[in-house]
Amino acid sequence: MAGNRAVIFSKPGEVEVQDISFPDLVLRDGPGVNPLNVGRKCNHGVILKVVTTNICGSDQHMVRGRTTAPSGLVLGHEITGEVIEVGSDVEFIKKGDLVSVPFNIACGRCRSCKERDTHICENVNPDRPGSAYGYVDMGGWVGGQSEYVMVPYADFQLLKFPDKDQAMEKIRDLTMLSDIFPTGYHGAVSAGVRPGSTVYVAGAGPVGLAAAHSAQLLGASVVIVGDLIEERLAQARSFGCETINLRDHANIGEQIEQILGVPEVDCAIDAVGFEASAHGQGAQEAPATVLNSIMGITRAGGRLGIPGLYVTGDPGGIDADAQEGTLKIRLGLGWAKAHTFVTGQTPVMKYHRDLMSAILSGRAQIAKAVNATVISLNDAPAGYREFDGGASKKFVIDPHGMVRS
């Protein structure tokens, strides 16, 4: 039997590549696995040879020690792979298929799944609705930053690419379908972006860049991206966005007025989340900054898409409230302006097929927008360090050398 190597969270600030067990169609005990999930038989699942698996900003929260993730957790929820083994209950997915895996694990049977709310599936995480691979408090499903991984509920979840050769030619784009492209797109849709909209995106990390590109695809007239890191802002400008350097310009409204002639936008997207910083020189962490600022610059009656991650447990939070996800949000301002807020994980399956078509037709250029950068599995620890330092790259791990060859 083949071996298996994976990226492991070892301790705050450190990941390692280690040997792990080859997957089978049972959820075994291990770091982070919910005891009530141990031993779940997954004859409805498949084993994938991982073709690409990406480093996500959500992974970085765990690696920084900003969650309760246990040592030894196998990381990775952005997975694209080739099916090498099929469970006895799988009918439509076949050995050899090249597929994209939604990061939310969904059974297809519960009320939420039947209503297309696959991000809050009721049957995959004993603690609360919603689950994901390789993520803290999400049921303990083994992550996919590895050579091989087990994926349950294959017939329901997996997005099969229609032509393998074509898919491999576009793999740097298609690998984004497991998370950040649908997540950015969901942020834009949730914010009500439509033809002619003016849009502000807080954060120029990969999700923010994906949200900005998605806003363009939806017909926005102007997309403005704000961030503290100039390298990331340069990447946003590379595909036609306006930008605001929030380290140099703390007043977002004034900067928006210089661009649009008015100090407000139609729509805003929070692609930062709970590790937000205040604006200006020497600013410190202030977790409610983005939420409060986008309420301030979004027009009355506007919508706020919030794909940025917020957590219920943050050991590194700046105070006791922040450590449990309680933030000082100006809800009165949002109420007075009749804002609509949309939060939570992205229901990937709602969008991934359409976005696949946009990629295969050449309409969407998501790999270019997020600066997809392919690395080996052995280089993953260095990729984590570089990404944590603010590099404007979306690191794509290529465990078997299939992309590079």
State pLDDT tens for residues 227-267.
999 999 999 999 999 999 999 988 999 999 999 999 999 99
What residue ranges of the chain are covered by domains with CATH 3.90.180.10? 5-179+347-397
CATH says 5-179+347-397 is which class?
alpha beta
Which of the 8 DSSP states describes residue 236? H
Contact, 91 vs 149, CB < 8 A? no
pLDDT(36) > 70: yes
pLDDT of residue 128: 94
Query: β-strands 98-101, 79-86: how paired?
Result: antiparallel
pLDDT of residue 405 exceeding 80, the answer is no
Q: Is the CB of residue 77 less than 8 Å from the CB of residue 55?
A: no
Class of domain 180-342: alpha beta
| Every domain range in the chain assigned CATH 3.40.50.720 | 180-342
For residue 40, is pLDDT > 90? yes
| Average pLDDT of the chain to the nearest whole number | 96
The per-residue pLDDT for range 346-380, each reduced to its tens digit, is: 999 999 999 999 999 999 999 999 999 999 999 99
Q: Answer yes or no: is pLDDT of 2 > 80.
A: no
Q: How far is CA 200 from CA 255, 270, 306, in A?
A: 11, 9, 12
| Region 320-339 average pLDDT | 94
pLDDT above 90 for 218 = yes
What pLDDT, on a 0 to 100 scale, did the predictor assign at position 320?
92
Compute the distance between CA of residue 164 and CA of residue 179 in angstroms, rounded to an integer: 20
The answer on pLDDT for 178 being more than 80 is yes
